[in-house]
Amino acid sequence: MKKLLLLIAVFAIFSCENEPKIDYALFSGKIENPKDTKIVVLGNDYEKEIKLNDDGTFADTLRVDTGYYMLVHGRERSSFFISPGNDLKMSLDTKKFDETLVYEGTGAINNNYLASKYLANENLNPQEVYALEEAEFLKIIEEKKTDAETKLKESKDLDEDFIVLEKKAINYEYLANLSRYPSYHAHYAKKPAYKASENLLKPLDEFDYDNAEDFRNYDSYQNIVLDYFMEKVITDSITIETLATIKGLKSQNIKNDLAAQLSYGISSSNENSEKLYNTIQEISTEKKLKEEVTKKYNKIKALIAGTDSPKFNYENHKGGKTSLENLKGKYVYIDVWATWCGPCIAEIPSLKKIEADYHNKKIEFVSISIDTPKAYETWKKMVADKSLGGIQLIADDARNESSFINAYAIETIPRFILINPEGKIVNADAPRPSSPKLIELFNELKI
Phi, psi of 186 (to 5 degrees): -55, -40
Strands 38-43 vs 25-32: parallel, antiparallel or unpaired: unpaired
Secondary element (H or E) of residue 323: strand 321-323
Instruction: Provide CB contacts within 8 A for 83, sequence distance 6+.
Output: 25, 64, 66, 107, 159, 161
**pLDDT tens digits for range 128-182:** 999 999 999 999 999 999 999 999 999 999 999 899 999 999 999 999 999 999 9
Q: CA 446, CA 441: separation in Å to the nearest integer?
A: 9
**DSSP assignments along 30-65, one per residue:** EEES-SSSEEEEEETTEEEEEEPPTTSEEEEEE---
Q: What is the pLDDT, as a whole number, of residue 243?
A: 84
Average pLDDT value for residue range 340-359: 94
Share of the chain above pLDDT 90, in %: 72
**pLDDT tens digits for range 243-293:** 889 999 999 999 999 999 999 888 877 888 888 999 999 999 999 999 999
Phi, psi of 246 (to 5 degrees): -65, -45
Q: What is the DSSP-derived secondary structure letter of residue 25?
A: E
Q: What is the DSSP-derived secondary structure letter of residue 136?
A: H
**pLDDT tens digits for range 416-436:** 999 999 999 999 999 999 999
User: What residue spans in the chain does CATH classification 3.40.30.10 cover?
Assistant: 313-444
Residue 39 and residue 50 in contact, taking contact as beta carbons nearer than 8 Å = yes
pLDDT band at residue 397 using 50, 70 and 90 as cut-offs: low
Alpha helices in 155-211 (DSSP H): 160-188
Q: What is the pLDDT, as a whole number, of residue 443?
A: 94
Closest CA to 23 of 68, 67, 63: 63
Q: CA 85, CA 22: separation in Å to the nearest integer?
A: 6
| Average per-residue pLDDT for the chain | 89
Q: What is the DSSP-derived secondary structure letter of residue 312?
A: -
Residue 419 and residue 362 in contact, taking contact as beta carbons nearer than 8 Å = no
Secondary element (H or E) of residue 351: helix 348-357
User: What residue spans in the chain does CATH classification 2.60.40 cover?
Assistant: 25-123
Q: Is 145 exposed, middle or buried (0-12, 13-18, 19+ CB in 10 A)?
A: middle
**pLDDT tens digits for range 292-320:** 999 999 988 888 889 999 999 999 999 99
Q: CA 109, CA 25: separation in Å to the nearest integer?
A: 15
Q: How far is CA 169 from CA 156, 172, 182, in A?
A: 18, 5, 22
What is the CATH architecture of 313-444? 3-Layer(aba) Sandwich (3.40)
Residue 79, SS3 per DSSP: strand
Q: CA 372, CA 394: separation in Å to the nearest integer?
A: 9
What is the CATH architecture of 25-123? Sandwich (2.60)
Phi, psi of 277 (to 5 degrees): -60, -50
What angle separates helix 252-263 from helix 273-283, to the nearest 10 degrees?
150
